[in-house]
Amino acid sequence: MNKSELTILPADKGNAMVILSTTDYQQKMNTLLKESAYRRLPKDPTDSNERKTTKLLKKSTLSEDVYKELNPSGSRPPRLYGLPKIHNEGVPMRPIVSNIVAPTYKLAKYLAGLLKPLTSTTMHHVKNSAQFIQILQTIQIEPHDLLVSFDIVSLFINVPIGDSLLLLEQHFNNDLVNLFRHVLTSTYFCFNGQY
C-alpha cells in the first residue's frame, strides 16, 4: 500500500492518531453525507456568498472600521473533513467544517463575540471541563440519585434556526439579526470537489 492509499487523522477524542485506507475514509464520509440534512449544490456558491455578505455589511449600521475588518475578500469554500470516532462501533466520522477562509468566517466570529456575554451569564453555562469538575465537587449526591448522560447526535445540523432567530430578536436590533440570519442560512462546504 502506498502513501496515497492511506489517510492519517487525529481521533475525534483522546490523543490518538488513526490510519485508515483512503477508500474507507471516503466511504465513511459519503455515508455521512447521505443524511437528509445535506443536499448537493449545483455549483460553488462562494462568490455569490461573498457578494451578499459584503452587501449586508455595507447596509448595516456597523461602524466603518468594523465593516472594513469583517468585509470578506478572496474567500474560498469551507472544507469538510471527518475525524474518526474511535469510541463508537464501526468508527463513524464526526464531520468538521473548516470555515477559516469562507465568506462569512469573520462575520460569524464577530457575531459569536456578541453572544458571549449572553451565554456566559446563564446558570446552565459551563465554561470548560475544569469548571464542570468544580461544580460537581459542590453537589451532594444522595443514594437514590441517578447520573444521566445525554449524547446529542448531529447537534449543529439540528439547531432550529427559526427559533434561534426569534431568541436573537429579543437581544439584538433587526440589523444584527439580519447578519445572524445570513450566517446561519448560508452554510455550505466542499468535499471531493462537490458542494
> 3-state DSSP call for residue 10?
strand
For the entire predicted model, the pTM comes to 0.81
What pLDDT shows up at residue 118? 82
Q: What is the pLDDT of residue 53?
A: 97
The helix, strand and coil proportions of the chain, stated in percent and rounded to the nearest 5, come to 45, 15, 45
Contact 29/93 with Cβ under 8 angstroms? yes
Q: What is the DSSP string of 72-86?
A: --S----EEEEEE-T
**Cell of residue 185, nine digits:** 442560512
Q: How many helices (H) and strands (E) does the chain have?
A: 7, 4
Positions in the chain whose pLDDT score sits under 50: none
pLDDT at 149: 79
Work out the widest C-alpha separation in the chain, in whole angstroms. 60
Whole-number Å distance between alpha carbons of 20 and 10: 11
Q: At what angle do helices 174-185 and 105-119 cross, to 10 degrees?
A: 120
- Residue 145's nearest CA partner among 153, 155, 132, 136 is 136
